[in-house]
Amino acid sequence: MGQAAAATTTRIPLSDLPARDWAAAAAALDSDGVVNLKGALTPEAFGKVEAAVEWSLANPSPTAVKFYPNEPAKFFEDRGHNHAGLVRDIGLDSMVGALWGVDRFWYMGEQLFLKEGGASRRTPWHQDTSYLRMMGSQLIACWISLDPLPKEHCLEFVRGSHKGTLYNGSAFAAADDTAPLYKQSRLPRLPDIQANRDGFDILSWDVEPGDVVVFHLGALHGGAGTAPGLRRRTISMRFMGPDVVFDGRARDEAGAQEGNDAALSTVYAGLEHGAPFPTGHLTAV
């Protein structure tokens, strides 16, 4: 664990955070599967996120990866559970509580992406729930970019897809973004959204420092690439709420080339489909 300790012991009241129509934000998240909380972080809070991300980049975990090692630009990804304290420090817990209308929920950890050093390729379209056996409405990532990103370099979403088909994961293969993570699975292969963009209702925004894009982990999303000269540092902080249950429907998965299946299989052991999802490995926030 790196920087987990919270600097404050009580939540920042919603009234002390930048004002927002939280009911409208919650309704957008429910219907579209994503909402951009524009200007949600104060400059001070944004500075704390930036310090946390820089700490994580300077202290990569043993499972950090450089995707597409044969490409000139760096496309780095890492996961950790180092920033639970940050959740409280920047008022993210108050925001999540306002979106869900619940008081008790859990921090699942963070994932970092860094693209720099030239034109970097896209993050393939995928759903996070393909990699997690979790079901429920209270399952989100708060995606924060530390660098201003015009829409064409932002994270993109298929509107409403969190209520649609659950697809096989993406193997992040160099030659084919839809190549399935699980070579054997009942989940259908991802559609080629990038090649058929007009066939999908794609949502994204120009994002500025301070914006927090919140999305349901079942939403189809893909990250745009970068242009030379653009550095793109992003962090996704994930949360689950009390309505999340174990998704025990048969997937007959096998043949994953990578993933956190081994660690998660101990969490899933013995669970019945629909059982409340265990929280012992998570941080209550």
Ligand X SMILES: O=C(O)CCC(=O)C(=O)O
Q: In the complex, what is the shortest distance from the CB of residue 166 to ligand X, in angstroms, rounded to a whole number?
A: 15
Q: Which residues are within 8 A (CB) of 93 and not within 5 positions of it... i.e. 6 or more apart?
A: 11, 87, 105, 285
> Binding to ligand X by residue 141, rule CB under 6 A?
yes
Q: In the complex, what is the shortest distance from the CB of residue 25 to ligand X, in angstroms, rounded to a whole number?
A: 19
Q: Which residue is nearest to ligand X (CB)?
A: 223
Q: Given the complex with ligand X, which of 11 and 223 has the nearer CB atom?
A: 223
Q: Which of 29, 135, 155, 207 binds ligand X (CB under 6 A)?
A: 155
State CA 278 to chain mean position distance: 20
Calculate Rg over the CA atoms of the chain. Answer: 18
Q: In the complex, what is the shortest distance from the CB of residue 154 to ligand X, in angstroms, rounded to a whole number?
A: 9
- CA atoms of 129 and 24, how far apart (whole Å): 25
Q: What residues numbered 202-261 form the site for ligand X, per CB under 6 A?
A: 221, 223, 234, 236
Q: In the complex, what is the shortest distance from the CB of residue 226 to ligand X, in angstroms, rounded to a whole number?
A: 9
Q: Which 3 state secondary structure label does DSSP give 249? A: coil
* Helix/strand number for the chain, H first, E second: 5, 14
Q: What residues numbered 70-129 form the site for ligand X, per CB under 6 A?
A: 111, 113, 123, 128
Q: Which residues are within 8 A (CB) of 21 and not within 5 positions of it... i.e. 6 or more apart?
A: none
Q: Which residue ranges make up the site for ligand X (CB under 6 A)?
A: 111, 113, 123, 128, 141, 143, 155, 221, 223, 234, 236
